[in-house]
Chains A and B, each alone.
Chain A
Amino acid sequence: MKSARYLFGAVRAKSMEYYTWLLFIGIYLATGLFVPTLFIPATFLNVLVQGTTVGLLSIGMAFVMLVGEIDLSVVAVASFAPMAGILAWEIGLPVPAAILLTLLVGVGVGLFNGLLITKLRIPSLVQTCAMWWMLAGIVLVATRGMAKAGLPNSWMQLGRVFIGPIPLLVFFFIIVVSAAVIFARRTVTGRRLYLVGGNSEACSAMGIPVDRIRIIAFMTSGLFSALAGYALSARMGFVSARFAVEWLMPAIAAPVIAGLSLTGGRGNLINVVAGAYLVQLIVIVVRAGGVSGYSYEFVQGLLVFIAILVDTVRRRVTGL
C-alpha cells in the first residue's frame, strides 16, 4: 500500500517536472479538434521544423536566464552572424568555413556582451539592447535593407535535405539541444550556471569564477542565436536584417512558460523546448485560424500571456 503511494508520488513528481511537455501535448491535441490539419503528419513535421528557430533562440536565452540575466540581442545575432558568414563566402571562403565563421561570430558577440556586462557592470538589459540595435543596423547597411538571397546550395542543405520522411533540420535540432541539456545538467560549468543564478555572492566566496560563468552563458546564447540564424537562412534561402525579429518575444516567453525563473538559478532546459513548441503552436494555430493581419500580433501575445499566467498559477498552487 505504502509503496503504491510512493510510486504514485514519484510519477506525479516526475510528470510535474515535465509539466510543460504535458501542456504542449494537451494543447496540441485540444486545438487539433478545431484545426484537424494538425493531425496530418505533414503538418506535424511542419510544426517540428518551424519550431526549431524559436527553439534554438529560447535555449540560448535560457542559458542567460539561468544566471539571472537577459539577452535581447539574440534575434540580431541570428541575422548578423549568418550574414557575416555569407559575405565571407562571397569573397571566397569555402562554405564549411563560412558556417564555422557564422557560429564564431555568434560566440564572439556573446563574449563581447559578457565582458561588458561583467567587467564594466553594464546591466545586461541595456548592453544587449544596444547590441541588438547596433547589429541590426550593420546588417541593414550591408544589405541596403534588402534580403540577401542566392545562398550556396551546400549552405542550404540543412534546410532542404530529408532523412526518410523527416527533415535533416529536426535531427540537427535534437542533437544540438541534447548537447545543451547535457552541458547544463552534467558538466561542472553547466551546474555552476545554476549556482551563480541562485546566489552569486556565495559562489565567489566558495571560489567559483562568477564572471567567467556569466560570460560563458552569454557566449552560449550567442552560439545558439547563430545556430538559429544559420538554420533559418538554410530553410528560407535568404538572410535579411529583420528575418528573425518576430521571434524575440517568443524566445523570452518560452523559457518563462517552461518555468525558468527570471531571477536565475532554476529551470529545466528540456521544458524550454516544450515552451518553444507551445509558442510556435500558438503562432501556427492563430495563422491557420484565419485571424486577420491586424489582430494577429495581438492574439498571439494574448495567448502567450495566458500561457504564462496559467504557469504562474500552477507554480503558486503546487509550490514547484
Chain B
Amino acid sequence: MRCNFCEDYQDRGPNMKKAGPILQVTGLSKNFGTLRALSNISFELAGGKILGLVGDNGAGRSTLLRILSGGLQPSGGQIYLEGKATRFKSPADAMKKGIAITYQFSQLVDIAKVWENFFMGRELTKRIGPLAFLDVQKMKHLAAGAIAKYGHTFDVEREARELSGGQRRLLAISRAIQANPKIFLMDEPTHGLSKRVINEIFDLLRKTKEASDTSIIITAQWYEQVCDFVDEVIVLRRGEVVGHFDAESADGGQVFKLAMGLTP
C-alpha cells in the first residue's frame, strides 16, 4: 500500500531556511539493566519534516521519544540539536530547548480542571506591581479556543477525569501544539481517536508546520495510521533501525514485514 497524499509538503525545497538538520541522532542506545531497549539508533530530521516511527510492541519507540524529551537519559550515543551536541537533562530542559511531547498515556492531572492541565508547566501570569499572579481568565479563554479548533468543544472548567479517552488525548495534543515547539514528538497520538478527529489534528499540524517550520516525530503501530501524514518512516524492531524510507518509496506491506521480522 502506498501513500501519495504528501506532495504539497514534499516539495518545499526553495522554502528550506536551514541547511543542516534540526535534529541529528547518532549511535543512540539505551539499556534497562540487561535489557537493550535501543541500540545504535541514527537518523536525521530536517526542519519542517515529519518522521514516522513504526514498530511492534516493545520495539523501543516510546523509549526513543522519552530520551528526546528529557524523560530518560541515553546509555550511549549523541544527540545534536541544530548542529550542536545536546543532552536533555530533564523534561523541563527539553521544553526550554523547544521540544514538546505527547505521551502514549496522556499525562494529565485528573483532579485538575481542563484549563489547568492545558497550561500546566507554562502558566500565564499578569503582573501587579512586583508580583506575578495567574491570569486565570486568559488561560481559560485560550484553552477553550485551542480545543475548539478541533471542532470538538468541551467545557474547560471540567476536571480532566471527566473527559473521555479521546478528549484526554485531544487535550494533551492541543496543549503541546500551543507550546509552539521546534520539534514535536507524538507517541501514538492516533490511538483511541476517531478518524475525523485524527484528520482534524493532522490538518492542524500541517498548518502549524507551514507557519512555524515545526518538525514532527510521530509513532504508530502500523504504517497505515500515519502514511498520509509523514515524509519519512523509520522501522524499529527490538531496539534497532531495520528500515528507513521516503514516504514515496515506503510500502505498507514491506514496513509491516520488517517491523515483524518476517523478511530475511
Contacts and interface: CB of A to CB of B under 8 A. Distances in A.
Contacts of A182: 133
B120 to A, nearest CB: 5
A259 interface: no
B117 to A, nearest CB: 8
Given A195-B112, A265-B112, A201 B107 contact: yes
Contact of B109 (A186, A188, A202, A207): A202
Interface in A185-219: 186-188, 191-192, 194-195, 198-199, 201-209
Contacts of B123: 188, 191-192
B92 A188 contact: no
Contact of A206 (B91, B131, B132, B134): B91
A205 B133 contact: no
B116 A195 contact: yes
A246 B111 CA distance: 34
B108 interface: yes
A186 B133 contact: yes
A16 to B, nearest CB: 16
Contact of A203 (B71, B103, B120): B120
Most buried by B among A191, A205, A265: A205
Contacts of A265: 109, 111-112
Contacts of A194: 112, 116
Contacts of B116: 191, 194-195
Nearest to A202: B107
Given A195-B116, A198-B110, A265-B111, A203 B121 contact: yes
A208 B121 contact: yes
How many chain A residues sit at the interface, stated as a range, is 20 to 34
Contact of B120 (A187, A195, A209): A195
Contacts of B71: 205
Contacts of A192: 120, 123
Given A186-B133, A187-B133, A195-B120, A209 B92 contact: yes
Nearest to B70: A207
A203 B108 CA distance: 8
Interface string B101-145: 101000111111000100011110100000111100000000000
A266 interface: yes
Contacts of A188: 123, 125, 132, 134
Given A195-B120, A207-B90, A266 B111 contact: yes
A207 B91 contact: yes
Contacts of B247: none
Given A191-B123, A201-B107, A207 B92 contact: yes
Interface string A205-244: 1111100000000000000000000000000000000000
Contacts of A199: 107-111
Contacts of B90: 204, 207
B91 to A, nearest CB: 5
B218 interface: no
Contacts of B103: 205
A205 B109 contact: no
A196 to B, nearest CB: 9
Nearest to B128: A186
A188 B101 CA distance: 22
Most buried by B among A195, A202, A204: A202
A207 to B, nearest CB: 4
Interface in B68-102: 71, 90-92, 94-96, 101
Nearest to A198: B109
Most buried by A among B95, B108, B121, B133: B121
Contacts of B133: 182, 186-187
A187 B111 CA distance: 19
B107 A208 contact: no
B125 A206 contact: no
A207 B181 CA distance: 14
B183 to A, nearest CB: 15
A265 B122 CA distance: 18
Contacts of B134: 186-188, 191
Interface string A73-98: 00000000000000000000000000
Contacts of A191: 116, 123, 134
A188 B120 CA distance: 9
B111 A207 contact: no
Given A198-B110, A198-B111, A208 B132 contact: no
Most buried by A among B107, B109, B122, B133: B109
Contacts of A266: 111
B40 to A, nearest CB: 27
B108 A207 contact: no
A204 B133 CA distance: 22
Contacts of A201: 107
Q: Which 9 A-B pairs have the closest CB atoms?
A: A207-B92, A202-B107, A206-B121, A198-B109, A205-B107, A207-B121, A207-B95, A199-B109, A186-B133
24 contacts: A182-B133, A186-B133, A187-B131, A187-B133, A188-B125, A195-B109, A195-B120, A199-B109, A199-B110, A202-B107, A202-B108, A202-B109, A202-B120, A203-B109, A203-B121, A204-B90, A205-B71, A205-B91, A206-B107, A206-B120, A207-B121, A208-B120, A265-B111, A266-B111
